[in-house]
Every structure is written in C-alpha cells, then in structure tokens.
Chains A and B, each alone.
Chain A
Amino acid sequence: MADPLASLPARPGPAVPVREPVFHVRGLARRYGEGEAAVTALAGVDLDLYAGELIVLLGASGSGKSTLLNQLGGLDSPSEGVLEYRGANLAAFGEAELTVFRRDAVGFVFQAYNLIPSLTARENVALITEICRAPMVPEEALALVGLADRMNHFPAQLSGGEQQRVAIARAIAKRPEVLLCDEPTGALDVRTGITVLEAVERINRELGTLAVIITHNAVMADMADRIFTLSDGRIVNVRANTRRAAARELKW
C-alpha cells in the first residue's frame, strides 16, 4: 500500500528528519494457534509512522487493531513480515531486547488504566521513572496531565479520568518516542474522555512524540494527522486530515 504521507509536505517541528519513519511495516501478519484452529489477527499490514504524528487506528472489535498495537509496542512478535523500529528489525528482537525497547522507547496507555492499586499516583509514575534512562521527575509528568494536586492519592481515591491521566503521566514520564494508547477513553464519559485526549494531544504537540490511539469511536479521527481503518486484519482505508481538530472540539 502506498504511503499517503509521502505526497504531503513535511510538518515542521520534530527533531528527527521526517523522511525516516519511526516504524516501517511491510506485510505484517500475526496468526494464533495451529492448523484448523488457527486464527489470523493480522493479514499483511503495510504502514510507515513518523515522529510527531498523531495516528488513530479505527476498527470494529476483532479487526486486529489491538494486535497491531501490541506488535508496535513489542508486546508480541509477528508471524511474518517486516517490522522495523528506526531501521532495527523488531521481529528479530529477543525477550531482553524487547524489554529494553519497551522500557526506553514506548509508553503504553491501557483501557483499564492498569495502575498499581497499592501505590499512589506519584509512586505509580515513579515506579517507571526509576527504571528508564532520562525520565522526567514524576511531578513534572503529572503536572503535564493536570494532576499536580492529586499526586498523593491512591488509585481508588481517583476518578476514572484521573486514573487514566495518571496512566498517561506514567507512559510519558520516560519521554518515550512512541505513545501507544489502547482505547484510552473506552471506560470514560465524554467530558472525562476529552480531558484524557487533551493530555495525549499536548504530549504529542509539546514533546513531538509519535502517538497512536486505538478507538472504535470515529469522532476521534478528527484530531489525528492520519487515520487507518482496519477490518479483518487488514488496513482497508487510510486518510489524512488537512487540519487536526483540537480534542476539546470533539463531540460524541
């Protein structure tokens, strides 16, 4: 599939030269199980993702978008195809290399937040900043998501939106090159969802982080640079927005 971004003028800003993709994916396939019971989750995906972009992956449940996100994040390995991160072959990474990749390059935001209930907001962030190379201080990351005044609360004392923003702070505190968000607003109401998306948008804009958001909510496509639509493990549609909508303008 042709790269739709190739014809567009490069956006200014990111430190990394635009022409060199962060992710270079060709013919990516992922099958689970063997023989008759085999399930194909991805059936030949091609895409290139660039630094500073905000990408939305749309698709129905079971379309393969989560599988694709897991591949990009080094949580799972492909069955076949090319999967390169900054020219390095992710598919050939071993467990130890994948761990380093996830530790230093990728920030994850999960639909279920996945905070450690026994740690406060600040400690949840600090848990990760302790193990990476050049992190922000946890307070700074929490300030970026607007939670500077709630950081000594335990997850159980925070609302869903606040918990998800802690999760974003946790993801960005390592200054990742890639921010991967799996249905980040799936469990939230509209207003809370928008504050969460604002946080993602801000990180993407201010830190030049490549952000990839999975959603089945088509409205969110308006805030993206490019939108990929998946169905049955393939990319069936790619479009680019000439103008990105601000998160707060979204309505659903």
Chain B
Amino acid sequence: MSHLDRKLLRDLRGLKSQALAVALVMACGLAMMITTRSLMLSLESTRDAYYEQHRFAEVFARLKRAPLAVRDQLAAIPGVAAVQTGISMQVTLDVPGLAEPAVGLLNSLPERGTPVLNRPYVRAGRLPAGRTAVSELAVSEAFADVHGLKPGATLAAILNGTKQTFRLSGIVLSPEFVFEAPPGSALPDNRTYGVFWMPYRELATAFQLYGAFNSVSISLAPGASEGEVVAAVDRVLAPYGGRGAYGRDNHPSNRRVDDEIRVLQGLSVAFPLVFLSVAAFMTNAVMSRQIALQREQIAMLKACGFSNRQVGFHYFKFSLVIVVAGVVFGIAAGVFLGRQLVDMYHLFFRFPELGFVLDTRVLVAAVIVSSLAAFVGVAGAVRRAVRLPPAEAMRPEAPASFRPALVERLGGARWFSPSFRMALRNIERRPIRSGLTCLALAMATGILIVPNSFRDGVAYVIDFQWDIVQRQTVTLTLVEPGPARALADFKHLPGVVHAEPFRYVPVEFRSGPVLRRLAVQGLPERGTLSRVIDASTVQISLPARGIVMSAKLAEILRIRPGDEVTVRVLEGREREVRVPIAALAEDFAGMAAYMELGALNRLMLDGDRISGAHVVVAKGRWPEFLDAVKNTPRIAGCVIKDAIREGFRKTTAESIGLLQKMYAMFATIVAFGIIYNSARISLSERARELATLRVLGFSRGEVGAVLVGELVVLTVAALPLGLVLGSGFAKGILAGVNTETVRLPLVLTPSNYAFAILVVATASALSALFAARKLAEINLVSALKALD
C-alpha cells in the first residue's frame, strides 16, 4: 500500500460516521435498484422458461361449441404451429369448510398423452385418470393452498345441474394460470375461485359436448403474424359461436405478469435516481469540506511533486471507498429484500419455482452508476483543489466576507439575537451551499412522503371500491345469461333484502389501432348497489345511449367523452357498432365499461336478459341464504364482497405494505444521513469560530445556539419545499407504476405530511444534540492555534 493510500485510510477513520452516512444513502438507492431489477429478471426468466417448457400457447379463443373436425381447419391456417382444443366450463363448487359456493373453472385434459400446449406442471399427486370409480380432478395450487386441499381430498361440483363428488388426484400449475383471478377481475380471489383439470371424456359427457370443443389454444410458427392468425381463427370459428381470438397481450394471466414487470421497471429507475442524487450531493458536501480542511496538505503534495492527477485521484479514492461500502451494503440489502419480495410474489403468481435471480448486469450498472454519482459529487471539489496554485494554497484561506443578512437589511435586525444573526449571515454568505443543504433536507422530507402515500392510496382504494362503488353483500352470477324475470327468483332467495340486475357482455373495443377486450357491464340507470363513480366520487347516471368507461381505458384507447368507439360484441350474434363515450368513471383495479342495462340489451338484440344480480342479504339469514345458493344449480357464482375485500387486504395491501415499510425505512435513513452530515460539516467549518466565541466568554449553550440556529433555519425552510417535492415524487412514481390492472390514486393525507415533518424534525434535533455534544469536545486552545 502506498503511503498516500495509508493517509487515505487514516483520514477516512476520522470521517467514518459521515462516510457511513453517505454509504448508507447510496446503499438504499442501490438496494432498491438491485431488488427491483433482480425481481424483474427473476420474473422474466422464470416466466420465459416456464412458458417454453410447458408450451404456453400464443393465440387463444373461446367459442360456443364446434365439432372436433374443425381442429384440422384451424391447424391448416398459415402460421399455425400447433393446436390444442378442449373444453373449459365454469361450475359451482361445494368446498368443505367454505360456507358459500365457490366457482371452479374446469379444463379438459386430452384422453391420451399430455396436452400439446399449456401443459400442466404437477406439484403433488398426479394428473386425473379417466374411467375411475370416483371421478378425479386436479386442482390449482393457489386454490388448494387456501383451502388446505391435499391429493385424495374430495369436493363436490355441480356439473350441468347435477351435483357430483370428485376426488383430487393432484395439485397442478399451468402457464395459463400463473395469475389466477376470476374473469374480469384484476385481483386474485383464491378462496372462491379455482382452476381444475379433468379428463376430456368425463367433462365433455357431463356437458353433452363429447366430440366437440369450446376452447382453443394455438402456437405460432416462427415469423407468423399473430394478427393474421387471430383474424383467420375468428373466421373459422364464427359459425360455431366464436367469441373472438386474442394473443398473449390480451391473455389475463400473462398481462398481469407483464404489468408487474412494468411496475418494477418504474420503481427500479425513479427511486434509486432520487437516492443516488442525494448521495452524490452528500459526497460533494463531505469531500468539499475534507478538501477545504486539507488545503495546505494539497499544496504540500503538489509542491513536493505530486501531479494534479495523483492528487485528484487521491481524493476521488475517498469517494470510491464510500462507493465500495455503499455497493457492498446495497448488494447485501438488495439480495435480502429481493428474497423477501420473491416470497411475497407467491401470493400472486404461481410458477413451478420462482427463485430469486440476482441480476449481475445490474451489479455492474450499480457500481458504474454509484461511482458516477460519487465522481460527480467529488469532481468539482477536487478540480477546485488541484487548480489552486500551490503557493496560494499554502496560505490559510482569506477570511470570508460577511454582510448583514437580507432580513436585517430590510430592518428586521432588532428582533434577532446576535447568535441568530450569525446563523442568518452564514446562510446568506454561501447561498449555493445553503441552498443545496436546504434542497437535500427537502429531499429527505419528500422521500418520506412517497411510501406513505402508497399506504394511504391502498386504504383509499379499499374504501372506495367496497364502500362507495360496491354496496352489495353478494354478487350472484347465472350459469348463462337468462331472462330478466330471473331477478325475481334472486329476490325470493331467503334473506335477500334488495337485488339489482346486471349483465356482462364480452366485447372488443377498437379505436384506431388499439384493441382491448373486456366485459361491458349493464347496470340499472342509477343503481344503489354496484355504482358507477366519477373522479369526484359522484355517482354517474348511466345514459340511455352511450357508454361509460374507466378513465384508464379511455386513455389507452385515446378517446374522450363525446368520441365514438367501435364495439364488437363477442357473444351471441356477433356484430359491430359505434357507441359514443358518455362519461369517464374512476376505478383502480382493472378496467371496466358500463352501459345502462336496457341500452346494452337493445345493443345485443336478444331481449331483456341478465347475467346475475347484486344482492343485499339480511345478516341473520346468512347461513340460510348460502345454503339456498349452493343448491340452486342455475347460480354459477357467488362472490361475497367482504371476502374479496379481505382477500385484497391480505394480498395487495400486504405486498404494498411490505414495499411501503421498506421504502419508509430507506427514506428515514436518508433523512437522518443528510441532516447528520449537514450538522457535522457545519460544525467542522465553524469549530474555530465557535471556539473563539467560547474563549470570548460565550456559554456553551449560546455557542450551540449559533450552530443549531443555522440548522433550524435551513430545516424550517426545507420542510414546506419537501412536502411539495414529496407530493411531486409520489405523483410521478404512482404514474410510473400505473398499469391497466392496478392503479393507485394519489392520496396525500395530513398524517403523511406530519410523519415526514416529524422524522426530519427528530433527525434534526438528534443531529443538533450530537453537534452540541461535539462542541463540548472542542479544545479551545488547539482550535485557535490550528490554522496559524
């Protein structure tokens, strides 16, 4: 080790707490970058390998029914590599231990061999065998986990009106259901919705579909155009009640995984950027001070023949040591948090194995980015140091020139004590430094706002979605859309106090080149249960003409109220109509479109029909009601609002809660780091001046007031700015993670602001206390002699 490096190490020992503060801030930024980037890589690589090994299809279609021979027509479409046909039916389940009925999506498995596409992965047990004494089913892992189902367990399902008992042969996963949510729902509901597999013969026979299929998956030949294949498939399936083919982009499970990756991408840039800028600023502050203190040493080194490059590199190495420490801490924390978050993803995404994959490219990037941050931070200070001619640097710095502070010049002098005046003049003398310190303190405040705005956003979504929008107890769905008089049957179920009908119609929206498929919900004009709400939480009356859609959907389709959108109906008689946009609705999960029920039925040209009803059930008659629902074969689904709300709280809220805690911790570290460093630097710069005051007879308290006064002024100025900055950060980051499946509203509460202020104020107070303690240690005599 060279002696210059030895000097470096010993100097660093004196700077260790400040260097540590900078390294920690840097580590926070890097940890977030490493965590989010590695999670992206983990999800992407796991997804790609899973899709490939289990042959996830690329084009999907549902239809009413088609004879198996149609399969060959599909296979003959140019660009089609493989075709997997099967049956997929939604049924009502009676799960042991679950009071309400659950919904099962039954998928057929080919009678012989493994499926060509969408091959299931067997986690436990085996795939169901055909022709057994008790029919067998394989169950999806998410559903099995929630209900503690093991191979060998039994459960009952109503198939085409007949209740049948099944034995579970095994627990499986499928690339088609990485994210397992009921159709049209953006949130998983593994309690009342599960996916199952059973042999084709059994399933087809139960629904009188033997020799036919109602679902198709297709893989494409290399270079084939998805759009052309989709169009060709639609043409082939049109006579058989085809509901429109779609590619992976519109596949609900795949889209949800993509959205998550997009969220991570947003987080991986925005947050680390803020943290690393703060770290760069702190490096600059620490190194500027260090270089100022070593002015004479620099001059000596240069006089003795060290080149500018050697001297510059020496000081740059200071920040490199900080970078190394930051990178080491950052990687350790990033890997640790990444592993925690991967476990959290099991709540949403089911892969055969989702391990944490450390993104090594991001490590390299982390080193480069943080070195760059440190370099930017230190470059200016080093340049100033080496530029100084050695002869000049040898002399102590000229005393700084002061003048009365602005407020004093404006006539405010008489209100201030001399020590407060010193603080003000000191701030004004170095406007850039003071400004930057103020900005850093503001950033510390602002960073604290973001994670808590996530938390408040989630709380708002919960209240909004389930108190303002949805006021029913239960949503009941019919097996197939039925006549409007079915509503009377719902009303007659035991305990039902009120019922409102709804209809779901799958459609494709098209505006210019943008396509989106989802269900239009037909609702009463001004319903009291499932309500359509606008951005100012006022209920929208559904017009007799036109459509109301999520603001997000309108944004994606690039249309505004008053514009028309092309709607292709994907159920019943297929047709295309142009419908005007009447208004935009506010919602946070998924995207939706609403029409007045009568208007929707007029569009469908198939009379007054409903898909189900939202109902309110009297509390006392709950068991009776559930029992009746379970034994009504026409009811395919029963979604209990409170169960969904609870599920959301457990999954989404928990995962966002974990992120929120992590970010709040990081933000607190940064806030403390910035303030502590500012206090240390300020103390170091003014040790001599403060010692002089002590010698002149100021008490320790009075001298402390000079030092603390400056910090107080800067902190007080920084707080409001910090709140504004933080609100901006929160807005920007939320916009970055705003996707089609999940959105969080920007909710800024007084308690969020209060928390940020409290943390920064506490950090300032502790730093001030620390500085005051250091003040006691200043050796009065040596402080006065030091710079002779």
Q: How far is the CA of A130 from the CA of B306 in the complex (A)?
A: 10
Cβ distance A220 to chain B, nearest Cβ, rounded Å: 21
A102→B389 contact, CB < 8 A: no
B391→A108 contact, CB < 8 A: no
Task: Confirm or deny: B305 has a beta carbon within 8 angstroms of a beta carbon on chain A.
Answer: yes
Task: Confirm or deny: A148 has a beta carbon within 8 angstroms of a beta carbon on chain B.
Answer: no
Contacts A76-B389, A114-B297, A118-B11; is A123 near B303 (CB within 8 Å)?
no
Which residue of A has the minimal Cβ distance to B10? A118
Instruction: Annotate B297-328 by CB proximity to A: 1 below 8 A, 0 otherwise.
Output: 10110111111101000000000000000000
B788→A103 contact, CB < 8 A: no
Task: Confirm or deny: B7 has a beta carbon within 8 angstroms of a beta carbon on chain A.
Answer: yes
Contacts A76-B389, A110-B300; is A99 near B7 (CB within 8 Å)?
no
Q: How far is the CA of A96 from the CA of B296 in the complex (A)?
A: 20
Which residue of A has the minimal Cβ distance to B303? A108
- Which residues of chain B have C-beta atoms less than 8 A from A127's C-beta? 3-4, 7
Q: How far is the CA of A73 from the CA of B389 in the complex (A)?
A: 12
- Which residues of chain B have C-beta atoms less than 8 A from A119's C-beta? 3, 6-7, 10
Q: How far is the CA of A73 from the CA of B6 in the complex (A)?
A: 27
Instruction: Annotate A169-204 by CB proximity to B: 1 below 8 A, 0 otherwise.
Output: 011001000000000000100000000000000000
Contacts A70-B391, A130-B2; is A103 near B304 (CB within 8 Å)?
yes
Which residue of B has the minimal Cβ distance to A108? B303
Task: Confirm or deny: A116 has a beta carbon within 8 angstroms of a beta carbon on chain B.
Answer: yes
Most buried by A among B14, B304, B394: B304
A108→B3 contact, CB < 8 A: no
Contacts A114-B297, A119-B7, A126-B3; is A102 near B788 (CB within 8 Å)?
no
Instruction: Annotate B490-521 by CB proximity to A: 1 below 8 A, 0 otherwise.
Output: 00000000000000000000000000000000
Instruction: Annotate A83-100 by CB proximity to B: 1 below 8 A, 0 otherwise.
Output: 000000000000110011
Task: Confirm or deny: A104 has a beta carbon within 8 angstroms of a beta carbon on chain B.
Answer: yes
Which residue of A has the minimal Cβ distance to B311? A99
Q: How far is the CA of A127 from the CA of B307 in the complex (A)?
A: 13
Q: How far is the CA of A110 from the CA of B303 in the complex (A)?
A: 10
Task: Confirm or deny: A75 has a beta carbon within 8 angstroms of a beta carbon on chain B.
Answer: yes
- Which residues of chain A have C-beta atoms less than 8 A from B10's C-beta? 118-119
Cβ distance B782 to chain A, nearest Cβ, rounded Å: 9
A99→B3 contact, CB < 8 A: no
Task: Confirm or deny: B390 has a beta carbon within 8 angstroms of a beta carbon on chain A.
Answer: yes
Contacts A73-B303, A99-B306, A123-B6; is A112 near B788 (CB within 8 Å)?
yes
Task: Confirm or deny: A240 has a beta carbon within 8 angstroms of a beta carbon on chain B.
Answer: no
Q: How far is the CA of A142 from the CA of B679 in the complex (A)?
A: 41
Which residue of B has the minimal Cβ distance to A182? B394
Task: Confirm or deny: A132 has a beta carbon within 8 angstroms of a beta carbon on chain B.
Answer: yes
Which residue of A has the minimal Cβ distance to B3? A127
A131→B7 contact, CB < 8 A: no
Q: How far is the CA of A73 from the CA of B299 in the complex (A)?
A: 13
B389→A75 contact, CB < 8 A: yes
Task: Confirm or deny: A246 has a beta carbon within 8 angstroms of a beta carbon on chain B.
Answer: no
A118→B7 contact, CB < 8 A: yes
- Which residues of chain B have C-beta atoms less than 8 A from A100's C-beta? 305
Q: How far is the CA of A131 from the CA of B11 in the complex (A)?
A: 21
Instruction: Annotate A58-94 by CB proximity to B: 1 below 8 A, 0 otherwise.
Output: 0000000011001001011000000000000000000
- Which residues of chain B have C-beta atoms less than 8 A from A136's C-beta? none
Task: Confirm or deny: A18 has a beta carbon within 8 angstroms of a beta carbon on chain B.
Answer: no
Q: Which of B1-57 contact A (CB under 8 A)?
A: 2-4, 6-7, 10-11, 14
Point out the residue from A66, A103, A114 that lies within 8 Å of B305, measured CB to CB: A103
Cβ distance B641 to chain A, nearest Cβ, rounded Å: 68
Q: Which of B344-400 contact A (CB under 8 A)?
A: 389-391, 394
- Which residues of chain B have C-beta atoms less than 8 A from A171's C-beta? 304
Most buried by A among B6, B302, B305: B305
Point out the residue from A103, A114, A123 that lies within 8 Å of B296, measured CB to CB: A114
- Which residues of chain A have C-beta atoms less than 8 A from B310's C-beta? 131
Task: Confirm or deny: A128 has a beta carbon within 8 angstroms of a beta carbon on chain B.
Answer: yes
Most buried by A among B7, B14, B310: B7
Q: How far is the CA of A104 from the CA of B304 in the complex (A)?
A: 9
Cβ distance B784 to chain A, nearest Cβ, rounded Å: 15
Chain B residues touching A, majority SS: helix
Q: How far is the CA of A131 from the CA of B314 in the complex (A)?
A: 14
- Which residues of chain A have C-beta atoms less than 8 A from B390's C-beta? 70, 75
- Which residues of chain A have C-beta atoms less than 8 A from B296's C-beta? 112, 114
- Which residues of chain A have C-beta atoms less than 8 A from B11's C-beta? 118
Point out the residue from A95, A96, A114, A124 that lies within 8 Å of B299, measured CB to CB: A114
Cβ distance A67 to chain B, nearest Cβ, rounded Å: 8
- Which residues of chain B have C-beta atoms less than 8 A from A66's C-beta? 391
- Which residues of chain A have C-beta atoms less than 8 A from B2's C-beta? 130
B308→A128 contact, CB < 8 A: no
Most buried by B among A96, A101, A128, A187: A128
Point out the residue from B14, B297, B303 that lies within 8 Å of A102, measured CB to CB: B303
Cβ distance A183 to chain B, nearest Cβ, rounded Å: 11
Most buried by A among B302, B303, B788: B303
Contacts A75-B389, A127-B3, A127-B7; is A114 near B306 (CB within 8 Å)?
no
A116→B391 contact, CB < 8 A: no
Which residue of A has the minimal Cβ distance to B4? A127
B4→A76 contact, CB < 8 A: no
Instruction: Annotate A138-167 by CB proximity to B: 1 below 8 A, 0 otherwise.
Output: 000000000000000000000000000000
- Which residues of chain A have C-beta atoms less than 8 A from B3's C-beta? 119, 123-124, 126-127, 130
Q: How far is the CA of A179 from the CA of B16 in the complex (A)?
A: 38
Point out the residue from A101, A116, A187 that lies within 8 Å of B7, measured CB to CB: A116
- Which residues of chain B have C-beta atoms less than 8 A from A99's C-beta? 302, 305-308
Contacts A110-B394, A118-B11; is A75 near B303 (CB within 8 Å)?
yes
- Which residues of chain A have C-beta atoms less than 8 A from B300's C-beta? 108, 110, 114, 116
Contacts A126-B3, A127-B7; is A187 near B304 (CB within 8 Å)?
no
Which residue of A has the minimal Cβ distance to B12? A118
Q: How far is the CA of A66 from the CA of B296 in the complex (A)?
A: 16
Which residue of B has the minimal Cβ distance to A76? B391
Cβ distance B8 to chain A, nearest Cβ, rounded Å: 9
Which residue of A has the minimal Cβ distance to B392? A76
A128→B304 contact, CB < 8 A: yes
- Which residues of chain A have C-beta atoms less than 8 A from B7's C-beta? 116, 118-119, 123, 127
Q: How far is the CA of A187 from the CA of B787 in the complex (A)?
A: 13
Instruction: Annotate B543-577 by CB proximity to A: 1 below 8 A, 0 otherwise.
Output: 00000000000000000000000000000000000
Cβ distance A44 to chain B, nearest Cβ, rounded Å: 20
Cβ distance A144 to chain B, nearest Cβ, rounded Å: 17
Contacts A75-B390, A127-B7; is A108 near B304 (CB within 8 Å)?
yes
Instruction: Annotate B276-309 by CB proximity to A: 1 below 8 A, 0 otherwise.
Output: 0000000000000000000011011011111110
Cβ distance A212 to chain B, nearest Cβ, rounded Å: 14
Point out the residue from A95, A101, A104, A131 that lies within 8 Å of B308, measured CB to CB: A95
- Which residues of chain B have C-beta atoms less than 8 A from A187's C-beta? 788
- Which residues of chain B have C-beta atoms less than 8 A from A170's C-beta? 304
- Which residues of chain B have C-beta atoms less than 8 A from A73's C-beta? 303
Q: How far is the CA of A50 from the CA of B392 in the complex (A)?
A: 27
Which residue of A has the minimal Cβ distance to B389? A76
Q: How far is the CA of A54 from the CA of B59 in the complex (A)?
A: 95
- Which residues of chain B have C-beta atoms less than 8 A from A96's C-beta? 307
- Which residues of chain B have C-beta atoms less than 8 A from A75's C-beta? 302-303, 389-391
Q: How far is the CA of A127 from the CA of B303 in the complex (A)?
A: 13
Most buried by B among A66, A73, A96, A119: A119
Provide 11 A-B residue pairs closer than 8 Å at the C-beta atoms, listed in order of the A residue.
A75-B389, A103-B304, A112-B394, A116-B7, A118-B7, A118-B14, A127-B4, A128-B305, A131-B306, A131-B310, A170-B304
Give B contacts to A, CB under 8 Å.
Answer: 2-4, 6-7, 10-11, 14, 296-297, 299-300, 302-308, 310, 389-391, 394, 788
Of all A-B residue pairs in the complex, the 4 with the closest CB atoms, nearest first, are A103-B305, A118-B10, A114-B300, A127-B3
Given A99-B307, A116-B7, 15 more A-B residue pairs with CB atoms under 8 Å apart are A67-B391, A75-B302, A75-B303, A76-B389, A76-B391, A95-B308, A102-B303, A106-B303, A114-B297, A114-B299, A114-B300, A116-B297, A119-B3, A119-B10, A128-B304
